[in-house]
A and B are shown apart, each in its own frame.
Chain A
Amino acid sequence: MQNTSAQFKSNVARALQEPNLKVALDRTTGLLRSRRAQVIADFPEYDASREAAKRIKDHTLANLDYYLELFEKNAVAAGAKVHWASTAAEATTAVVEICRKHQAKSATRVKSMLGEEIGIGEALAEAGIERVETDLAEHIIQLAKDPPSHIVMPAMHKTHEEVGALFEQYHGHPVDRDDIPGLVESARQALRPKYFAAEVSISGANFLIADTGSIVTVTNEGNAELTTALPKVHIVTVGIEKLVPSMEHCTILLRLLARSAVGTEITQYTSFFNGPKRDGDRDGPEEMHIVLVDHHRSEMLGNDLKEMLRCIRCGACMNHCPVYGVVGGHAYGAVYPGPMGAVLTPAMTSLANAGDLPNACTLNGRCQEVCPVKIPLTEMLRRLRQKQYSQQLTGKVTRQGLGLWGLFARRPGLYRLASSLGVRALGLLGRRRGALRSLPGAASWTRHRDLPAPQGKTFMTLYREQQWRGER
């Protein structure tokens, strides 16, 4: 997708004017939040699991070289071919080459954010290979030609009414736009023949299990199983941070993933793929290729963004983010939106390109509170601001404002004088109504809300007056 993080402010302006967006966001995030709260209230091991998950990820990341080699050995032993890609281009080239070798005209795809990250869609289009998105939400945004707006619910920005209109246009028959099961059925009928026509399937993976060489996918639609079982070739593109040592470790993370992502104890389908079809198997691909993608991950492993590699892509941070909740995912202008995206995007593009992302956050801390692997998102965003400030990337107005503030805040006498004068003036302006409806220099505040008038004198002035009168 085209990165537009640099145009964050105009993206936001557009998003805030889109009336359906807020309806769509409120419906879905509201449901996800309440479901998650309920399922976690019913999960007494939640805190212990979170701590265990954090430790599992930290341990695996600290020994990533060992576990990657172990995974490769076991995946190869199970019959898969393992490819290593350090860049997005290397990864997509590997995918396209495999498709070409098998003269693929179409590829069915199971939703994967890593696929979006490396630009699989664009690479297949360039190679002239039809891409069929089989995930319902991905099917919707493929028809709408939209990028995903959420990492778990890529079509979160669309209402079911909008989806109905889209299906009528592309599925070629009238639908009842309020009949959600009917809409699902319409997509099912449109997609079904395409599963059988594809020569290649492409999926991501939620986890890589080192000691078995398996990949794990988690869906609620069963499309991963059908997609990968039919074509002769199954290609997996996956980030190297998805490794876990063993099945046991994987189950701890799975329990957290389903609960944090969609508020259920387990997803409808959790599948473990261990190599291609073996002798005697009735179904399955003849070849399985696993493309292990670095794309900035080993860089992050060596710097202060390391903790971000714990992320299991559940989306809870964005579901609970007040900013995401009003602007939606597209405003972030990148593959990964919301709090985790605000940390990842600068790492994967550049801080100069994504300058607004670490700043467009109230630092309310809700994201890290709900993060199942305890990523200190707020602290990481602040660290990015620190980097911006020291690299002179912070805006001029902000720098000057901070300089001025520092000048007064470091000189208590001057500060008292300035604050008492300012407060007196402001008090006179607003005393009669109790609030100011507009104030030059504070338009960003008063454009949207009143400014409470100060009570008149500063606390310090009043306190000193009381001391003089002997009351204190």
Chain B
Amino acid sequence: MSESDPTGTSNGSEIPSASPRVGFFVTCLVDAMRPSIGFACLKLLEAAGCRVEVPATQTCCGQPGYNSGADDLARKIARQVIDAFLPYDYLVAPSGSCAGMIKHYPELFAQDLDYLEKSQALAAKTYEILGFLHDVMQFRPQGERYQGSVAYHDSCSGLRELNIQTQPRALLAEVEGLRLVPLEGSESCCGFGGTFCAKYPDISNAIVSDKARAIEASGADTLLAGDLGCLMNMAGKLSRHGSKVMVYHTVEVLAGMADRAPLCAPEGSGD
């Protein structure tokens, strides 16, 4: 439908065509720390038949402000995201946390009818990448290989706000050579929590120490999850322990891009 919508003002109420126009929300962490996750997403979205654009005015989803109770600040950033992404059929982000945040936007605009409606429209077409690929695009990876045993951590926001649980596992099951192993406590928080890990570093450390032990105990050689914040936290702890477990975002494996160095490893040390 976006082809017949040159003004780009679709509000998500129409049924998108087979090749929908996706606004890719990079997220600030992926932008800065691990752009390969972003490129893996572009590859997968295109393979799934989407036309992807990356709006240049995006920065952050506003979550640091929202979670600190600074709603005024969060609102200003939310308006920016809404203005940039409302024209697309979908907003897709490689993070359940940021996608979940965008779904909270309507709470910020209770007293602003214009943006209340816009934020509701955007929230309705906002997706986390794996949920989007699996549920909306019905995408399944073809001919991808990854030789290894994989522990999958369910990042909290994706799991509890967006029901991302079966989709990544189903997509990973299509990858040849990849063996999923159970991870004890895969649904319990890794202790990242955004600003939490900076405000309460010792509590965060105690939680991620338990998580690192569980990952090691799983016997997996690779850890995957869908949120870079959690991945950095867990990879950082594993690396400090001298662990050999390789840490990637799920999309990197699905897109066949795990030839890059895993988190916390120098380039050239990838799988």
The residue that A445 contacts in the complex, of B30, B32, B69, B236, with Cβ under 8 A, is: B236
Q: Which residues of chain A have C-beta atoms less than 8 A from B201's C-beta?
A: 444-445, 447-448
A457 touches B239 (CB 8 A): no
Let me know if B189 and A366 touch, CB within 8 A.
yes
Q: Is the interface of B mostly helix, strand, loop or mixed?
A: helix
B189 touches A382 (CB 8 A): no
Query: Are A419 and B73 also in contact (CB < 8 A) when A402-B65, A449-B208, A450-B240 are?
Result: no
Closest to A437 in B: B240
Are A458's CB and B32's CB within 8 A? yes
Chain B interface size, under 10 / 10 to 19 / 20 to 34 / 35 or more: 35 or more
**B-contact 0/1 string along A435-464, CB 8 Å cutoff:** 101000000110111111111011110110
Q: Is B142 an interface residue (CB 8 A)?
A: no
Please state if A362 and B76 are interface contacts (CB–CB under 8 Å): no
- In residues 38-65 of chain B, which contact A (Cβ within 8 Å)? 38-39, 54, 56-60, 62, 64-65
- Given A434-B267, A445-B236, 20 other A-B contacts at CB below 8 A? A9-B200, A12-B202, A16-B203, A320-B188, A323-B200, A361-B193, A366-B189, A385-B68, A394-B70, A402-B70, A406-B65, A406-B70, A409-B60, A410-B59, A434-B263, A435-B236, A448-B236, A450-B240, A452-B264, A455-B34
Docked Cα-Cα span, A434 to B160, in Å, equals: 32
User: Are B35 and A458 within 8 A (Cβ)?
Assistant: yes
What residues of B have a CB within 8 angstroms of the CB of A454 in the complex? 32-34
CA distance A448 to B62 in the complex (A): 27
- Please name the residue on chain B nearest to A320 by beta carbon: B188
Known A363-B67, A398-B68, A419-B32; judge A432-B160 contact (CB<8 A): no
Residues of A within 8 A of B39 (CB): 459, 462
Chain A interface residue count, Cβ-Cβ cutoff 8 angstroms? 66
Q: Which chain B residues in 142-201 approach chain A with CB under 8 Å?
A: 156-157, 160-161, 187-189, 191-201
Q: Looking at the assembled complex, report how far the CB atom of B104 sits from the nearest CB atom of chain A, in whole angstroms.
A: 9
Q: Does B271 contact A (CB under 8 A)?
A: no
The answer to whether the Cβ of B221 comes within 8 Å of any Cβ in the partner chain is: no
Does any Cβ of B come within 8 Å of A90's Cβ? no
Q: Are A327 and B206 in contact (CB under 8 A)?
A: yes
Contact of A409 with B62 in the complex, beta carbons under 8 Å: yes
- Judge whether B188 and A409 touch: CB under 8 Å: no
Chain B residue numbers with a CB within 8 Å of A435 are 236, 239, 263-265
B77 and A410 contact, CB distance less than 8 A:
yes
Cross-chain contact A452 with B35 (CB below 8 angstroms): no
Interchain CB contact under 8 A, B193 and A386:
no
Please report which residues of chain A, range 392-420, place their CB below 8 angstroms from some CB of chain B when the two chains form the complex.
Answer: 394, 398, 402-403, 405-406, 408-410, 412, 415, 419
Whether the pair A434, B269 counts as a contact (CB closer than 8 A) is yes
12 sampled A-B residue pairs with Cβ under 8 A? A22-B206, A322-B188, A327-B203, A362-B196, A362-B204, A389-B68, A419-B28, A434-B269, A444-B201, A445-B201, A452-B239, A455-B267
The reply to whether A366 and B73 form a contact with Cβ atoms under 8 Å apart is no
Contact of A365 among B31, B56, B68, B160 (CB under 8 A): B160
A153 at the interface (CB under 8 A from B): no
Q: Is the CB of B56 within 8 A of A450?
A: no
State which residues 289-333 of A face B: CB under 8 Å.
320, 322-323, 325-327
The one of B26, B60, B193, B260 in contact with A362, judged by C-beta atoms closer than 8 angstroms, is B193
**Chain B: CB-nearest residue to A410:** B76
A359 within 8 Å of B (CB atoms): yes
